[in-house]
Structure 1
């Protein structure tokens, strides 16, 4: 075989090797690239879903949980009721004429319950009554949800509770969702002996 023939064969072999190498490299790297591309898309979708969930959570929090207006609390000394025997419970009276949805009602009842507890547990509050709270805890922290039809009814219930030295608080909505600003939504009563609460709420129906 001549020198020229040997050189030609070598050139063809080199070219063939390069082509095969390039083909193998392309086949090996392409699936990795596609896999990475799918992974990136999945991560992007997950991030978008997470952001959307956070936005919805923020909206719900603003609409349902942060809707209590700022107001001065009325501190009622309920220590005179400590000697009254029997079950101790908390009553939550909801106005039905406002047409609040279930989520709104739940949030407003939460405001009332937390504030009633805060009034009776705060060391700086004149309404502080750890003795009554301990009785309430021991009885399982009983609560009852009742309803009244109008603000006038709620005002009368509130006044009656104060006259009996029952810890009381009326939630006034900030008006960011569903109802006008300043609306009295829920009356929280107690914790107090059931026998005393019944003098205020005995005629009311369950929510």
Structure 2
């Protein structure tokens, strides 16, 4: 084990370049490749999205020194604990009762994404959006039951001060006018999961 610690890890240069071009820092990209054995871009991204910082295997600490998989970092080595609460994500809950076609559904999710993004910019939440973009812009699409269900989730999000945006369609194609189609939510994994944690993926 001591030999592994002394040997400097060399990330796959092609993978590293692609991850950095996606907006990830060199340190985060290197850590993800280290923890996933330099296997692929997708594996590294999945590691980043699916692991909390405290539980990840930390190749680099604050002094950029190599660390072994599973070796933990003391809290004072990574700064303020409030910065390490987990990644942000944007979640979309679709009204499945409308039985929208793939094209219609995709357009409604896109409306929900842009609508919430613009709303957050207007409300001065650019820093949270920047952190989300930096970490890869994680997005999840879930199944909602009907318009009543979406409106209930919307109210829960409002009560919890979670940014949200509800889409009501004009009804020019496929569905009746004023149909509630998609609800979008934005927040940390922990915050959003309190509202949507029991829902199934679409």
TM-score normalised to structure 2 length: 0.58
Q: Which residue of 2 aligns with 1:200?
A: 195
Alignment match of 1:157 (pick from 128, 153, 156): 153
Cα distance in structure 1, aligned partners of 2:150 and 2:84: 25
Deviation at 1:83, TM superposition (A): 6.4
TM-score normalised to structure 1 length: 0.56
SS of residue in 1 equivalent to 2:124: coil
- Alpha carbons of 1:166 and 1:184: their partners in 2 closer, same or farther (altered >3 Å)? same
Cα distance in structure 1, aligned partners of 2:84 and 2:162: 12
Matches within 5 A, 1:156-175: 156-175=152-171
1:129 equivalent to 2:125? Answer: yes
Contact 1:84 1:193 in 2 (8 A): no
Q: Number of residues paired by the alignment?
A: 121
Q: Which residue of 2 aligns with 1:100?
A: 100
SS of residue in 1 equivalent to 2:91: strand
Gap runs ≥5 in structure 1: 1-81
Contact 1:160 1:200 in 2 (8 A): yes
Q: Which residue of 1 aligns with 2:120?
A: 120
Cα distance in structure 1, aligned partners of 2:144 and 2:134: 29
Q: Which has the higher contact order (CA 8 A, sep 6+)?
A: 1
SS of residue in 2 equivalent to 1:185: strand
Deviation at 1:129, TM superposition (A): 0.5
Q: After the TM superposition, which parts of structure 1 deviate over 4 Å for at least 4 consecutive aligned residues?
A: none
Deviation at 1:84, TM superposition (A): 7.6
Matches within 5 A, 1:44-123: 85-121=85-121
Query: Which structure shows the higher helix fraction?
Result: 1
Deviation at 1:133, TM superposition (A): 0.8
1:186 equivalent to 2:186? Answer: no
Deviation at 1:101, TM superposition (A): 0.4
Deviation at 1:135, TM superposition (A): 1.1
Deviation at 1:155, TM superposition (A): 1.1
Contact 1:93 1:188 in 2 (8 A): yes
Deviation at 1:120, TM superposition (A): 1.3
Greater radius of gyration (CA)? 1
Alignment match of 1:177 (pick from 165, 170, 173): 173
RMSD of aligned Cα (Å): 1.4
Gap runs ≥5 in structure 2: 1-81
Deviation at 1:128, TM superposition (A): 2.1
